[in-house]
A and B are shown apart, each in its own frame.
Chain A
Amino acid sequence: MAQNSAAPAPAKKKQRKSQFAGMSKALVRRETISAYLFLLPSLIFFVGFVVIPMCMCLVYSFFDMGINFSSATFAGLDNYVEMFQDPVFIKGFWNTVLIVVVAVPTVTAFSLWVSSAIYQMNSKVRSFFRCVFYLPVVTGTVAVTVVWKWMFDPYNGLLNQLFGTKGYDWLGDAKTAIWCIIMILFTTSIGQPIVLYVAALGNVDTSLIEAAQVDGATKLQVFWKIKWPQIMPTTLYILVITTINSFQCFALIQLLTRGGPSHATDTIMYYIFDMAYRLQRFGYANAMGVVLAIIIAIFSAIQFKIAKTDTE
């Protein structure tokens, strides 16, 4: 069953060649119509609230558009040219990359470690830990963020009181600010992967493991040779949702640092918001959105490419 999930792409490819094999024209038409009827409710929302806005976004990105949309003027590629000369955008790009590159592997590796540690424990202990690590997710991003803001506060915060670092501004220092954000992102992202891994590890075929152990395989060998391939689909799924989460990290930045100090925590997402809603340059903000969408599309494509080669 697990194999199924990781192989959507190849399965589809095989299908495409033979998709309509052995079907009459009438049947194909019937199937197509009924398929689209099933798809219709979903497509209305998808087209209406994702595809059309995306197209509008693309159109706007070629305009010099301030807060008054009716006085927008065509600007050609100006917004795009400006973007690649905008040091804040470039800084935001690298910060985004940093967050994704640090958060995704740490969350995945760490959740795998925790799950391996707890999945064989007795069920009470296991569900206790699973519950604990899921807690920040259900507490809610904003609630978690505001409590951390309090703990980081230079004058009333718990951290300075604990570490005796009186007056140290965790979120106001470029050296620590982004790591604070990554840390909180980490605590709010880890819950789901742990639940997923615990389930996946529980489903690994035990007869294979026993056989390997009889053959004298070490724990590490058992893990890499037997467990790892079997939990691969889960890993991919976790990679996808964690990447989405990291890319979309917004509340943390808006509530904690507003991209500061000196843009040390500015991500492309936050900069888009800031450009639109504070500096009121909607054309430019949309152009950045288009570029971000392209970056993310490439990212997703790579992930699915890896998924494909891994299972073939």
Chain B
Amino acid sequence: MKMKKLLALLLALCMVFALAACSNEDEKQSDGGDGDQTGTVKISIWTYPIGKFGDAEAVAELIEKFEASHEGITVEHQLLDYTNGDTQVTSAITAKTTPDIIMEGPERLVTNWGANDLMVDLSDLWTEEATADIAATSQSVVDACQLNGAYYEYPLCMTTHCMAINYEIFEQAGALQYIDEETRTWTTEDFVAAMEAIRDSGLVSTPGIVYCGGQGGDQGTRALVTNLYSGTYANAEHTAYTINSAENVQGLTLLKDMVANGSLSANASYEASQELQQFANGTCAVTFCWNASNKAQYAEDVSFTPFAMAFPSDDGQPELCGGIWGFGVFDNGDQARIDAAKEFIKFVCDDETQAKESVQMTGFFPVRASLGNVYEGTETEADAAEFLTLMPYMGDYYNVTGGWTEQRTNWWGMLQKIFVDGMDVQAAADEFVTASNANIG
């Protein structure tokens, strides 16, 4: 008798749960139905901290403007950071809860998620007019956004990644003589001399930190190494990595010597964000991870003049690594949401008045030639001019070489082996190339 009661109770419980689940299911469907009637489409956007796109309030303002002019679409925003963002996106992809729109560069949008068939082809956004306008700035931007004929990214802005020096420390250490303030360039010899002067001045804990740990900011260390003796990171066809070339090995060896004599430090426990914070704190006199976005982010902490510089180069002709940022759309299988997402991208990137403001939000420069200098007459004009000086040094956009994700891990490993474990430079570089080329496929 009692047994039956127990059984009945449990059965009842199960049914309640099942019913709850069913009714939830119904609700879900009716929810969708309601949506169709009123025509409301809900989309979500995730942004990495790209200038003001890393500021929730600024993005909320942008969304408000969009929603006001596009009735029936509501947008939800979430912020990602470079340390954890990749994990969050990967986990969302495996859970099939990806956002509709994501803002990042081609190395993730195109070579990673695009190549894995997770993104929507945005070819219809790339009208003839748009393509021509963007190509007028740089054909490599157009090339970077596509893969096998499909466009997985619609770009908004670009910049050159550079480095920065603590102007006052350089002044006090008498190291300003080594830089060309006009062109913001310096030669490798000047760089070595400047860092030694700062080391000898004792004004900072360490002249500079080569960060060898973790996730983002690898563009800085890559550009540092390749520029020292004008090497290349990948071949012109982007079919092989070339970090073991004589020039690059020479550059890495120079850095290793500088670490040994104390004119640089190398920290395996440091990521770019930590190095930046130490630069902002005045612990070190240079940072290898600089651009307008980082300048804005650390503006509050900085009590000196961060002076943007090109990476040092033996011939004084730096080749800077470009950064391109734009939007991609995850294929969530719902055409209404995909269309809404495209509307949003069009609004942000192509709208006559909004496009300029969107670029201003990033602090970078427009990919569309027709937008001209978006900072002219604004209060940030001087700031922007600093980085504009560096734009002509834009080098090859090699971030679209195959096996990009894997090579990043290999890159950190190589730096750690050279600077921390003291492995032979040539051997470590060879190892990197062998391992990374294996993934180009």
The answer to A–B direct touch (Cβ < 8 A) is: yes
Binding site for B on A (CB under 8 A): 30, 33-34, 37, 40, 66-69, 71, 152, 154-156, 166-167, 169-174, 177, 256-258, 260-263, 276-280, 282
9 A-B contact pairs sorted by A residue (CB < 8 Å): A37-B3, A37-B6, A40-B10, A67-B93, A257-B213, A262-B416, A262-B417, A262-B420, A277-B91
The answer to whether B90 touches A68 (Cβ under 8 A) is no
Chain B residue contacts of A68, Cβ below 8 A = 93, 116-118
B22 contacts A by Cβ under 8 Å? no
The answer to whether A260 touches B268 (Cβ under 8 A) is yes
Binding site for A on B (CB under 8 A): 3, 6-7, 10, 86-87, 90-91, 93-94, 112-113, 116-118, 205-206, 212-215, 265, 267-270, 278, 281, 283-284, 405-406, 409, 412-413, 416-417, 420-421
With A262-B421, A277-B90, A278-B86 given, is the CB distance from A172 to B267 under 8 Å?
yes
CB distance from A284 to the nearest CB of B (A): 12
CB distance from A271 to the nearest CB of B (A): 11
Chain B residue contacts of A33, Cβ below 8 A = 3, 7
Q: Which 3 A-B pairs have the closest CB atoms?
A: A172-B268, A261-B268, A172-B269
Chain B residue contacts of A262, Cβ below 8 A = 268, 413, 416-417, 420-421
Chain B residue contacts of A69, Cβ below 8 A = 94
Chain A residue contacts of B91, Cβ below 8 A = 277
Chain B residue contacts of A167, Cβ below 8 A = 205-206, 265
Chain B residue contacts of A280, Cβ below 8 A = 90, 112, 405
Q: Report which of A40, A172, A256 forms a contact with B420, defined as CB distance below 8 A.
A: A172
CB distance from B1 to the nearest CB of A (A): 11
Chain B residue contacts of A177, Cβ below 8 A = 269
With A68-B116, A277-B86, A277-B90 given, is the CB distance from A173 to B3 under 8 Å?
no
Chain B residue contacts of A154, Cβ below 8 A = 265, 267, 269-270
With A172-B269, A174-B420, A261-B421 given, is the CB distance from A67 to B118 under 8 Å?
yes
The answer to whether B213 touches A260 (Cβ under 8 A) is yes
The answer to whether A279 touches B405 (Cβ under 8 A) is yes
CB distance from B249 to the nearest CB of A (A): 19
A177 to B117, CA, bound (A): 40
A263 to B212, CA, bound (A): 13
CB distance from B297 to the nearest CB of A (A): 19
Count of A-B residue pairs with CB < 8 Å = 105
Chain A residue contacts of B283, Cβ below 8 A = 155-156
A170 to B118, CA, bound (A): 41
The answer to whether B421 touches A174 (Cβ under 8 A) is yes
With A37-B10, A257-B269, A279-B406 given, is the CB distance from A173 to B205 under 8 Å?
no
B13 to chain A: closest residue by CB: A41
A264 to B1, CA, bound (A): 63
CB distance from B438 to the nearest CB of A (A): 12
CB distance from A259 to the nearest CB of B (A): 10
Residue of B113, B409, B416 ringed by the most chain A CB atoms within 10 A:
B416
With A67-B93, A67-B116, A172-B420 given, is the CB distance from A152 to B86 under 8 Å?
no
Chain A residue contacts of B269, Cβ below 8 A = 152, 154, 169-172, 177, 256-257, 260-261
The answer to whether B90 touches A169 (Cβ under 8 A) is no
A94 to B102, CA, bound (A): 39
The answer to whether B409 touches A169 (Cβ under 8 A) is no
The answer to whether B421 touches A172 (Cβ under 8 A) is no
A30 to B91, CA, bound (A): 45
A261 to B405, CA, bound (A): 19
Chain B residue contacts of A279, Cβ below 8 A = 405-406, 409
With A37-B6, A67-B116, A155-B206 given, is the CB distance from A169 to B87 under 8 Å?
no
Chain A residue contacts of B420, Cβ below 8 A = 169, 172-174, 261-262
CB distance from A176 to the nearest CB of B (A): 10
Chain A residue contacts of B112, Cβ below 8 A = 67, 280
Chain A residue contacts of B205, Cβ below 8 A = 155, 166-167
With A155-B205, A173-B420 given, is the CB distance from A261 to B118 under 8 Å?
no
Chain B residue contacts of A171, Cβ below 8 A = 268-269
Chain B residue contacts of A166, Cβ below 8 A = 205
Chain B residue contacts of A37, Cβ below 8 A = 3, 6-7, 10
A69 to B91, CA, bound (A): 12
Chain A residue contacts of B416, Cβ below 8 A = 260-262
A155 to B270, CA, bound (A): 11
Chain B residue contacts of A156, Cβ below 8 A = 281, 283
Q: Report which of B6, B86, B113, B213 forms a contact with A258, defined as CB distance below 8 A.
A: B213
The answer to whether B409 touches A278 (Cβ under 8 A) is yes
CB distance from A41 to the nearest CB of B (A): 8
With A173-B268, A174-B420, A260-B269 given, is the CB distance from A278 to B213 under 8 Å?
no
A261 to B267, CA, bound (A): 9
